[in-house]
Amino acid sequence: MLKIILVVGARPNFPKVAPIMLEMAKHPHRLRQVLVHTGQHYDYDMSRVFFEDLEMPPPDELLSVGSGSHAVQTAKVMTAFETAAVKHRPDAVVVVGDVNSTLACALVCSKLGVPVAHVEAGLRSRDRTMPEEINRLLTDQLSEMLFTPSRDASDNLLAEGIAPARIHFVGNVMIDTVVRVLPKARQRPVLKDLGLGERGFLLATLHRPSNVDDPAALRAIIEGLVTVSRDTQVIFPVHPRTRSRIQALGVKLPNSSLRLMPPFGYLDFLALMSTASLVVTDSGGVQEETTFLGVQCLTVRPNTERPVTITEGTNRLVGSGYDELVKGIRQSLSLGHGVRPPPELWDGHAASRIVKSFLDR
């Protein structure tokens, strides 16, 4: 029997790990799984709703590493995860995405001689000022099994000298979760509770430091959202830290049309995203989800590590300047909702292909 540790560190990791756990559970006599939550997103109550929405079991290990600089947080995860890895003695460790926990756990495994499997491998923005890009590059070099969500990701790995035998094109595992829970999300009363009609609002979500920690960029984005909110309602779930930064700007917000909301759980957010007229974001996962859902997406970034969402999906890039943002939003709103085939292997079965790779070893 193979014992496999699966690592989650931040909320974007949960919808990627959940389908893998469900698929592994179908093979109890061949696979034993251990879930480790590093606590990189240190508000466990905010994480708990994701466990509930995705029907994930509580973690076997909660490391509670908390916040800190990138270096401090990575070091704390490494120290805590080494103890967990030595305790459980896994045959392999699965890491997902590109957060600090992803790289930290891969580094620990490389020292302990434990094989690493990286889910969502090969994504590249070509922007090394992004901490996530460094995490992606190094994790892929340390991993024995690299599960890619798109053909371009596999091509990136080949260009970096990764042996073809280590690369497995399996599709987008996060779409497995969307396919599984979308019917349940559509039954949520969140639209009714907020007084929203389908395709009658814009959904905004921003978290990257380049957008929320730069006062000039944040002011331009908020003022742009205020302007477009005169024509359509804007729902903006805001992390408490970002809310305080918005308040510090002193921008006058309208009372009703731009609505700053607390963060939503996964199901409620998916319900909103699937029925929005447009999503304005800087999240990588949201770019993918909107592409699958056929919802127009405007990404407030100069680049993306998910170019397939542009070439085959509904995503467009836009700068954070006021004029460019307002123009981009209005152009995207005019495009409307469109149905198109999802990218290759974004079919809800990526997790089964990942688990098959373990069973075939």
Three-state secondary structure string covering 49-69:
HHHHHCCCCCCCEECCCCCCC
Residue 70 lies in a domain: yes
pLDDT in tens, 194-229: 999 999 999 999 988 899 999 999 999 999 999 999
User: Tell me, what's the pLDDT at 45?
Assistant: 57
User: Tell me, what's the pLDDT at 43?
Assistant: 58
**Residue 190 and residue 167 share a domain:** no
Query: Which single residue is written with the structure tokens 């969402």?
Result: 309
**Residue 211 and residue 79 share a domain:** no
Confidence of residue 30 (pLDDT cuts 50, 70, 90): very high
Residue 164 lies in a domain: yes
Choice among 82-86, 157-161, 244-248, 270-274 with the minimum mean pLDDT: 244-248
Residue 115 lies in a domain: yes
**Residue 330 and residue 351 share a domain:** no
User: Tell me, what's the pLDDT at 65?
Assistant: 86
CA 235 to chain centre: 19
**Residue 41 pLDDT exceeds 70:** no
- Top pLDDT among 177 and 45 is at 177
What are the angstrom distances between the C-alpha of 280 and each of 93, 238, 312, 340, 360?
34, 13, 18, 20, 41
Mean pLDDT of 95-122: 98
Residue 340 lies in a domain: no
Q: Domain of 189?
A: 182-335
User: Tell me, what's the pLDDT at 240?
Assistant: 81
**Residue 201 and residue 103 share a domain:** no
Hey, what are 109's tokens?
């495994």
Mean pLDDT of 120-132: 96
**Residue 338 pLDDT exceeds 80:** no
Confidence of residue 128 (pLDDT cuts 50, 70, 90): very high
Residue 177 lies in a domain: no
**Residue 212 and residue 151 share a domain:** no
Q: Residue 296 burial (CB < 10 Å; 0-12/13-18/19+)?
A: buried
**Residue 285 and residue 189 share a domain:** yes
Which of the residues are catalytic? 207
At 287, which CATH number? Answer: 3.40.50.2000
Mean pLDDT of 128-145: 97
**Residue 119 and residue 256 share a domain:** no
What is the side-by-side strand order in the sheet with 31-37?
61-62, 31-37, 2-8, 92-96, 116-119, 145-148, 167-169
Please give the tally of structural domains in the chain.
2
**Residue 298 and residue 202 share a domain:** yes
Confidence of residue 51 (pLDDT cuts 50, 70, 90): confident
- For the chain, what percent of residues have pLDDT higher than 90? 84
Burial of 38-58, coded b for 16+ CB within 10 Å and e otherwise, reads bbbbeeeeebebbbebbebee
Confidence of residue 42 (pLDDT cuts 50, 70, 90): low
**Residue 276 and residue 202 share a domain:** yes
**Residue 119 pLDDT exceeds 90:** yes
**Residue 351 and residue 321 share a domain:** no
Is the pTM higher than 0.85?
Answer: yes
Q: Which amino acid is at 116?
A: V
CA 246 to chain centre: 23
User: Tell me, what's the pLDDT at 64?
Assistant: 87
Q: How many CB atoms are located within 10 Å of the residue 307 CB? A: 19
**Residue 29 and residue 141 share a domain:** yes
Confidence of residue 251 (pLDDT cuts 50, 70, 90): confident
**Residue 147 pLDDT exceeds 70:** yes
DSSP state of 230: T
Residue 218 lies in a domain: yes
Sequential DSSP letters for 250-301 = TPPPPSSSEEEEPPPPHHHHHHHHHH-SEEEE--HHHHHHHHHHT--EEEES
Q: Strand pairing partners for 166? A: none
**Residue 290 pLDDT exceeds 80:** yes
* Average pLDDT value over all residues in the chain: 94
Residue 341 lies in a domain: no
Q: Which amino acid is at 192?
A: K
Mean pLDDT of 102-106: 98
**Residue 254 and residue 147 share a domain:** no
User: Tell me, what's the pLDDT at 95?
Assistant: 98
What is the side-by-side strand order in the sheet with 315-318?
258-261, 233-237, 201-205, 278-281, 297-300, 315-318
Residue 176 lies in a domain: no
Helix (H) or strand (E) holding 220: helix 215-228
User: Tell me, what's the pLDDT at 192?
Assistant: 97
User: Tell me, what's the pLDDT at 46?
Assistant: 61
